[in-house]
Structure 1
Amino acid sequence: MKHKLTGRVAGAIALATATALALTGCGGSSSSGSGSDTLKLVVADYGTGPDNASSKFWQGIVDDFEKANPDIKVKVTSIPWTNFDQQVQTMVQNKQFPDITEGDYFSNYAQDGLLYKASDVLSKPDNLLPAFKDQGSYNGEQYGMPWTTSSRTLFYNKKIFADAGISAAPKTWADLQADAAKIKAKGETGFGLPLGAEEAQAESLLWMLGAGGGYQTDGKYTIDSAANVTAFTFLKNLVKAGDTEPNPGTVNRTDLWQQFAQGKVGMINGSPALIPIIQKAGVLQDSDWASVPIVGQNGPLDTTLGVCDNVAAFNANGHQAQIKKFLDFAYQDKYQLAFDKEYDLLPATTSAADALASDPIFGPFLTALPKSIQYPSDTSWANVKTKIQQTIGTAVTGDPKQVLGQLQQTATSAS
C-alpha cells in the first residue's frame, strides 16, 4: 500500500483532492486543443503503469487550467523517462519545437538560444528551491526550472542488522565494511553497489563525496582526483572481500532496489523512489527498514546528491505569455504535493517543501536537499555522464586510478 502523507501534509494537499479525482477520469495523451495556438507540453512518464501514468496527472492539471483559461489550450505528450532526452532532442532537430518540456535535458537548448529564462515565464522564480538554481543555469541565467526533486540517503534493513548482531546504522566507511561483512556471513548481500549503466553516475558521486571529492572543482572536471581514487579503492576492497553483490559494474539500481525490497540486501543508497518498491513487494513493513545520512569516510555526510528534473520553456513558437500563465498555474503547491505523493518524489518549491518537512518518511530526504550537490550543469555533462555509466563500474574490478584517469580525459576533451 502506498505510504500516505500525514500530519499537516494531509491538510496541505486537501486542495489537491479534486485534482486527484480528475486524474482518474482523464484518458489519452492530449487535450481537446489543436492548432497553432495550442501549447505543446512534453512530459516524462514516472508512472508504473496506465493507472498512474504521468500523462493522466498532467491532463488533470491541463483540464483545471483550461477551465480557468478557456482561451488557451494545452496538448500533453508523455514519453517514458528512460527515452525522454533522446526523443526531445529528435523533436528539436526536426524543428518540431515543444513549448514546455518537463524532464531533464535543457542546457544545450539554452546554449543554442532556444529557451526562455525562468524569470520570463514564471512569476515567482524565487520560490523554486535555491539548491537547484545553479544546476538550472547557463551563463549565469536560470533556464531549467525544477519540477520534481530527489535526494539520497542510506537505507538499511533493521531485521538483517538485528540478525547479524548490529545495533546501529553505520556512520563511517569502516563501520559500513564491518557491518557488510557480518551480513555476508549470514548469507545475505552486505551492501548493494549498483554501478551498472542505469545510474552509475549517481552511486559513484555519493562515494566521491564521502572522500571529499566529486566530478568537478570550481567548474572544472576532477574525476581522477586523489579523493575520488581513494573512494574507488575502498569500493574495490569492499567488492574483493565479497561484501557486495558480484560484479557491481553489471548490476543496475532498479534490480538491487528490488532485492532490497525482498529483504535480501542489508544496505543500499536510495532515493524516495525506493519506498514504493518496498511497499509493493510486501516483504518489509515500515518498521523493518530506516534511512540515515550517506556514510562518509570519516562520518555521516552533511551533503548528498540532489537531483531534479527540469521544466524548460521553448521560445520558437512565441507563446511566452501563454506559457507563463500555465506554469504559474501548474506550480501551485497543491499540484506540487499531489505529484510528489503520486510518484514518491520531492517538491521543487520552497513552499511545498515546507509543507512536507514534518513527514516521517520524506522529512529526512527534504532535510538533505538544501546542502545537496548536483551534477555538473555544463553542456558537456550529457556525453561525460554516458561514458561514466558505461565504464566506471570497471574501477572496482580493475585499476581505479587508470579508469578514473580515462574518464578525466574524456571529460576534458568534451568540455
Structure 2
Amino acid sequence: MKRQLIAAVGVAAMVVGLAACGSDAKSGGDAKEAAPTALTVWLTVDAQQNWPDLVKSADDAITAKYPGIKINHEYYGWKDKNTKLDSVLATDAVPDVVEMGNTEMLPYMIKGALAPLDASKFENSGAWLDGLKASATYNGKTYGVPYYAGARVATWRKDIAADAGVTAVPTTYADLTAALDKIQAKQGDKFSAWYQPSRDWYTAMSFVTDAGGSIAKQDGDKWKATLSSPESVKGLTAWKDALGKYMKGDLTKDDADRYIVYGLGSSNMIYGSGWEGGSAADPKFDKTGGKLKENIVSFVMPGPSGKNLSTFLGGSDLAVPVKSKAKTAASEWINAFTNSKAQEVLIKAGNLPNNKTQLAPLKADPKTAPTATAAEISWFVPTAPGWLQVEKANVLQNALQDIAQGKKTVEAAAKDADTAIDGLINKA
C-alpha cells in the first residue's frame, strides 16, 4: 500500500503538554514506571486479517511476564488511524503501541509525540533495512521499530517483449533500454514501452540517488537542497530521457492509478510497488482478456550507474507514544511482534522482513528474489523539520512535470526546486 506523508492538521495541537511527559524516557529505562496493568495496541487491519496468530503470540509473551495484564487491541484503516491518533495524542488516552506507515513517522518524531527507544533492545536492530531504519530515526535517536517492508520492482509483459524479439529479462540498464527501443518501435507511438507517470517522484529520485545525487543534505543543524548538483542533474537527465522515449501517456499523471492504467494493456512495463503488477492482473482491472496474469514478470530494476536502481521502501514501523504509561511493556511487545520468529510469519504472508539477515535467503527463491534484491539498496526522504511542508507544496512533483512537458530544462527546474525546498525544509 502506498502511503503519503500525512497533512496532519492536528500535529501541532497534539503535542500540547508533551514536554512535561517524560520525552527522554527510553524503553526499559524508566525506573519510575509502575508495573503495567493494561496495554493498548493499535494496528492496521492488515494484522487483524492476515496474521492474527502473530498478534496473539506477542500478547502471550507479555502476559507471561506480566500476569494479569490486560492487552487491548484496536484495528484501523490507514486514514482512520491517523485521524484518531491526532485526536488522542494531546490527551492521556494514548495507545501504548501504534503502527505507523514509514512515511508517516517524521512529523510525529519532529513534534516529540513519540518516545525514543533503545534500538539494542530489539532483535535484528543491527541489520534493519536502511530505508526503514532511516524512517524511524531523527537527530540520531530511534523512535520506531521496523515492522515489515515492500520494495519497488519492474514489471513487464513477456508476450509483448517476445513479439519485438526480446526473450530475456534485462539485467543491465543498457539491456533494458535496448529492449524498450525494440518494443517501442514495434508497438508504435500510441503505446508506452514504459508507462512512467511524470509526477511519480519516488522513481525520479531513485534515478537521482543512482547517480550519486540527493534531494537535500544536512550541513550542521541545517538542510540544503541539492537537486541542482551535477550528480542530481545527471540522474534527472537519465530519468527525463527515459520518459521522452517510452512514456506516451498523460504527462500530468501521478502514480496513484498506475496499476489500473497498466491493466488497460497499452503499456509494456511499469516500475512500482511489488503489488502493482498483481493488482493490474486482477480480473477487475485486467482489460486484456487475461493476458496479464499469464505474461507479466517482475525483475529488479537496473540503474544507469550499472548497479540496481536504489528503491524507496514502503513499509510500517511500530512506535510508542511519549505519553504511554507502559513504555517498557510496550517495547517488549514490539520486540515479540518483530523478532526473527515473527518475521518468518510475515515473510510467509508475502511481506519482506525488516532486516537484511532474513532478507538474504529470499534472494534465492525466484518468487521473492526481485523484491528481496531490490530492497537491499534503498533511500529515504530527508529527515528535516520542514520536509512535510516540501511534500505538501508538491515541489518535486511540479518540477518533474515541468521537465517532462519541456516547460523547463532539467537544470532550470532543479534550480527552481532547490530554491523552493530551501525556503521550506528547515521550518517545522
Q: Do they fold alike, i.e. is TM over 0.5?
A: yes
Q: 1:165 to 1:286 in 2, by over 3 A?
A: same
User: What is residue 56 of structure 2 aligned with on the other side?
Assistant: 63
Point out the more displaced range, 381-390 or 322-331. 381-390
C-alpha displacement of 1:319:
0.6
**Cα-to-partner distance string for 1:237-275 (whole Å, 9 max, x where unaligned):** 55455x31422332424x222343554321111232225
Q: Give the distance between the partners of 2:80 and 2:247, measured in 1 at CA.
A: 30
C-alpha displacement of 1:323:
0.7
Q: Give the distance between the partners of 2:217 and 2:202, measured in 1 at CA.
A: 17
**Cα-to-partner distance string for 1:197-219 (whole Å, 9 max, x where unaligned):** xxx23122123234432323466
Tell whether 2:42 aligns with 1:42. Answer: yes
Q: Give the distance between the partners of 1:396 and 1:186, measured in 2 at CA.
A: 17
Provide the aligned length of Structure 1 versus Structure 2. 367
User: What is residue 412 of structure 1 aligned with on the other side?
Assistant: 422
Q: Give the distance between the partners of 1:334 and 1:263, measured in 2 at CA.
A: 41
SS of residue in 1 equivalent to 2:390 = helix
Tell whether 2:352 aligns with 1:346. Answer: yes
Q: 1:245 to 1:55 in 2, by over 3 A?
A: farther
Q: Give the distance between the partners of 1:316 and 1:330, measured in 2 at CA.
A: 21
- Matched ranges for 1:216-235 at <5 A: 216-217=216-217, 220-235=224-239
User: What is residue 156 of structure 2 aligned with on the other side?
Assistant: 156
* Superposition misfits of 4+ residues, deviation over 6 angstroms: none
C-alpha displacement of 1:316:
0.7
Give 5+ residue unaligned stretches, structure 1: 1-35, 46-52
User: What is residue 97 of structure 2 aligned with on the other side?
Assistant: 100
TM-score by length of 2: 0.73
SS of residue in 2 equivalent to 1:379 = coil
User: What is residue 260 of structure 1 aligned with on the other side?
Assistant: 262
SS of residue in 1 equivalent to 2:364 = coil
Q: 1:210 to 1:110 in 2, by over 3 A?
A: closer
Give 5+ residue unaligned stretches, structure 2: 1-35
Tell whether 2:84 aligns with 1:80. Answer: no
Q: Give the distance between the partners of 2:182 and 2:54, measured in 1 at CA.
A: 47
Q: 1:258 to 1:63 in 2, by over 3 A?
A: same
TM-score by length of 1: 0.75
Give the letter for the 2:251 counterpart: P
- Matched ranges for 1:128-143 at <5 A: 128-131=127-130, 132-143=132-143
User: What is residue 114 of structure 2 aligned with on the other side?
Assistant: 115
* C-alpha RMSD over aligned residues: 3.4
Give the letter for the 1:100 counterpart: V
Give the letter for the 1:359 counterpart: D
Tell whether 2:403 aligns with 1:395. Answer: yes
Give the letter for the 1:362 counterpart: T
Q: Give the distance between the partners of 1:101 and 1:73, measured in 2 at CA.
A: 17
Asked if the contact 2:157–2:268 (Cα under 8 Å) also holds between the matched residues in 1, the reply is yes
**Cα-to-partner distance string for 1:345-387 (whole Å, 9 max, x where unaligned):** 3111345424534321212322233332222233332222332
Tell whether 2:182 aligns with 1:182. Answer: no
Identity of aligned residues (%): 18
Q: Give the distance between the partners of 1:345 and 1:135, measured in 2 at CA.
A: 18
Asked if the contact 2:43–2:76 (Cα under 8 Å) also holds between the matched residues in 1, the reply is yes
Asked if the contact 2:114–2:322 (Cα under 8 Å) also holds between the matched residues in 1, the reply is yes
Asked if the contact 2:89–2:113 (Cα under 8 Å) also holds between the matched residues in 1, the reply is no
Q: Give the distance between the partners of 1:388 and 1:176, measured in 2 at CA.
A: 33
Asked if the contact 2:166–2:179 (Cα under 8 Å) also holds between the matched residues in 1, the reply is no
2:313 counterpart (284, 288, 306) = 306
**Cα-to-partner distance string for 1:272-325 (whole Å, 9 max, x where unaligned):** 222531553473577723333324335453643334322111231221222133
Give the letter for the 1:88 counterpart: L
Q: 1:340 to 1:221 in 2, by over 3 A?
A: farther
